[in-house]
Amino acid sequence: MKIGILAAGSNEGELLKRFGSFAQMTQEMFAGSDLSFQCWDVCLGEFPNSYRDCDGWVITGSPASVYEPLEWIDPLEQLIRDISQARQGLVGICFGHQIIAQALGGVVEKVKAGWGLGVDQYRLTAKGMTWFGVESLSLHVIHQDQVVTLPEGAELLAGSEFCPYGALSYRSHILTIQAHPEFSGGYMQALLPAIAPQYITTSEAESGVRSVLSTPANADVIVQKMTQVLSQSV
């Protein structure tokens, strides 16, 4: 199956050299699957001609916020609605999680709790345990925006004290997660210091790195389910 990666952002500089772009990291996450990929840098105004150009779609993370007045946000939201109406497989990661919720009627805000950095512990709902077969997940996170109001049709799969709406499903063809299953521990250890002090404080970066070192992420079950959603084999 051909999967379109809608890249809403990318690494830059040394991080890009060492770890690749967000689209490349996303594609590597699905290594070993039967999926093939094509990428559009939607953050640069690159869009497919139609949702019909691929069998399924993934929307990556981004340094942008979904509520910013950026020219590419509206066409991305319309593409999301087209994909959803066509019942194609759709996966959203971090920014992707948020923009899908917003496009379908939800609300995303920058929360007063501040940054979630490092590893967050997601507790699964009954529906989430059915989907993933586990009761909890340790996942890499870096965000201060969150989905605060669910759109109609969204079902809660998992969340944490910091991020109550951490993973959502829409019927069986859309799966979104606030966390980053595509981010390795090594990448997180490089990323957090790299964005301090421009975006986060040095102490926040150090605390996030400590949580990464002390708590291994177990994102494999997420990736497995994402693959099933994209393959429409759920």
Give the active site residues. Answer: 94, 180, 182
The single residue listed with the structure tokens 């063809």 is 173
Q: Exposed, middle or buried: residue 176 (CB in 10 Å: 0-12, 13-18, 19+)?
A: buried
Cβ-based neighbours of 24, under 8 Å, separated by 6 or more:
none
Q: Are 195 and 187 in contact, with CB atoms under 8 Å apart?
A: no
**Sign of the CA dihedral running 168, 81, 40, 12:** negative
What letter represents residue 182's amino acid? Answer: E
The single residue listed with the structure tokens 């019927």 is 171
